[in-house]
Homo-oligomer: A and B are copies of this chain.
């Protein structure tokens, strides 16, 4: 294959299976400064292998049965070992089988991303800035084990509707100790009034696909994690109490959109999380200190890609956690990024500067530089 199209592209005898194997690495260096009274005070620098992934995908047995396996090899990828993950690193990102069993219907089984907010579902290798926003890190619903049913329908010439529903264990990825509390239910509806984006541009950052006509996706996700035991639904700390786990229904709602036309792109997201009983308490009613991260957030990002494959991108992100519950106030982030795509997302150099404006602590300035190479 060509560079960026995977390292191996194998088709088995009699076409009984196929496999595309690819790898990628992200090298990141980031520095921060505190801003106090218009003075900049150097805080720290972190240089690391941000991500290192191996990816296998293809079909097996039958062209209608496809699979995806992705493994994370960097220390950032694999962290989160705990008694809930057999005290082992979380090496497996995705391990999912997809079966197109009837017309436009597809059944998925295994561990993969839930149909959550668009920023999360876009691969970390296809981002428009160095990393996802703070709105995503507070509210996203990540990966889980379970089944998904996906369907799409085209009305008229091009008006496209996609429906995605998921039933999951609700504990997050790579958990070996099984279900605690209840399960997790997710539904997502996507409307693309002007038809499909060329080159899967709706789920890829930056306007590298240079849509020839305006393309729009408007979507909403509703997710309910019944009797959840973690502070961010299927992620975050486990809410342990003196009688076991605090359990509460956690609801997460996303509305998001993607618009692209030629070199221009715009992505917007609104997120909101609520919980029936967000404060974990012991038997005597005292708070344990763990609370569900309830609140809402807004994320707006827009970029313009020049003919020479340089891109300028701006992003505004706001997160407002419920201060009376979480004790954390409002947070605003303003980011300006510059990317050079040597070979699309497969070989790129990205840099950005972010002003982090916190209610309760000094502001900070962050500068990041990232090199990506994907085979």
Contacts and interface: CB of A to CB of B under 8 A. Distances in A.
Contact of A179 (B45, B56, B110): B45
Contacts of A48: 145, 175-176, 178
A373 B56 CA distance: 14
A44 B174 contact: no
A7 interface: yes
B97 A373 contact: yes
Nearest to A48: B176
Nearest to A146: B47
Residue of A8, A30, A86 with most chain B CB atoms under a 10 A cut-off:
A86
Contact of A49 (B27, B87, B110): B110
Contact of A81 (B87, B90, B111): B87
A60 B30 CA distance: 25
B69 A71 contact: no
Interface string A104-123: 00000111000000000000
20 contacts: A2-B16, A7-B19, A17-B375, A27-B95, A44-B178, A44-B179, A45-B169, A46-B177, A46-B178, A49-B92, A49-B95, A61-B343, A73-B91, A73-B92, A75-B88, A75-B92, A79-B86, A79-B88, A88-B89, A89-B91
Given A8-B10, A52-B95, 16 more contacts: A3-B16, A3-B61, A23-B69, A25-B110, A27-B110, A45-B179, A47-B179, A48-B175, A60-B373, A61-B347, A74-B92, A75-B85, A76-B176, A78-B91, A79-B87, A89-B91
